[in-house]
Amino acid sequence: MKTFFAREDTLMGTKFQTWAAGLLVVLGVLAMATGAAVGGIQVGAGILMFFAVRWAQQNPLVRLLDDHMDMKAAPAAGRHLVLYRDMAELTVESKAKAFVTTKRGERLRLPTPRFTDADRESLLSTLKERIQASR
Amino acid sequence: MNAQSVIGVALNAALCGAVRAEMPTLSLVLAACVACSALGLGLCALGSKKGGAYLIIAGAVPFVPLGLIAVLGARKVLDAMAVAEFEARRAGRE
């Protein structure tokens, strides 16, 4: 089984998102201190962002198992389980855009911008190999 | 229906009640959203899990970030259904 976690560096990375969540909480607390009740929403959003980042650090976004791919890109995103033999093709449009098209016509976008270059290459090449092997 | 979505909808209802005195019009809109989520919970309990989960999500979105608790609960229901459907599809092919 191969697992692919979210990267830590860059704007898409978990470290920056942790800082952004902290900033949201601080700004929210400051807003509440000045009497703006809307700061509560910022604090709530910051706390939930912390949980989302923590989730991304602990759970792989994509898992390639023996006969299928298991993908869940975010806590509130849908879980996609697709057998390799049900995959029609893998389309790579750019570094940020890669899609798996299934034989039932579904087009799933892979969360490639959230991986390191090495992980992205590994995911795409492994997926390509397994799709071809299942034919 | 799971405990997380029930707690999430209850928290949304509590928030709706809390803003009632200060913003009565907004609380009416939020009450309609809570009713939508409550209908979703009812549908889940009656067995129509997919439609119910989507109704819970639709009713909880205006409450985000607090509404995410109910959204994540409903998402767990949908994910469990996706896993069951996948297992059935895999077993059917083998």
Quote the CA–CA distance of A32 and A2 in Å, as a whole number: 45
Quote the CA–CA distance of A9 and B76 in Å, as a whole number: 29
Cis, peptide link before residue B65, omega less than 30° from 0? yes
Mean pLDDT value across residues A5-29: 87
A83 vs B: CB within 8 A:
yes
B82 vs A: CB within 8 A:
yes
> Scanning every residue of chain A, which has its alpha carbon at the shortest distance from the alpha carbon of B66?
A44
Chain B residue numbers touching A80 (CB-CB < 8 A): 82
Which ranges constitute the DSSP H helices of chain A?
Answer: 14-33, 39-58, 117-133
Inter-chain CB proximity A44 and B65 less than 8 Å: yes
CATH for the A67-133 domain, from 2.30.29, 2.60.120, 3.40.50, 1.10.10: 2.30.29
Name A2's bridge partners. Answer: A64
Select from A55, A66, A96, A95 the least CA-distant residue to B94.
A66
B86 vs A: CB within 8 A:
yes
Give the strand pairing for A68-71 and A62-64. antiparallel
pLDDT in tens, chain B (94 residues): 788 899 999 999 998 888 888 888 888 899 999 999 999 999 988 988 889 999 999 999 998 888 888 999 999 999 999 999 898 888 876 5
Inter-chain CB proximity A79 and B72 less than 8 Å: no
Select from B19, B4, B1 the least CA-distant residue to B62.
B19
Whole-model pTM above 0.90? Answer: no
Chain A residue numbers touching B93 (CB-CB < 8 A): 83, 85
Answer positive or negative: Cα dihedral of B60, B61, B66, B70: positive
> Scanning every residue of chain A, which has its alpha carbon at the shortest distance from the alpha carbon of B91?
A83
pLDDT, tens digit, 9 for 90 and up, residues A88-124: 888 899 888 999 998 888 899 999 988 888 999 999 9
More confident residue, A71 or A96: A71
User: Domain segments of chain B: what residues?
Assistant: 3-93
Phi, psi angle pair for B42, to nearest 5°: -60, -45
What number of other Cβ atoms are within 10 A of residue A77's Cβ? 13
Chain A residue numbers touching B63 (CB-CB < 8 A): none
Q: Supply the pLDDT for residue B94.
A: 53
B3 vs A: CB within 8 A:
no
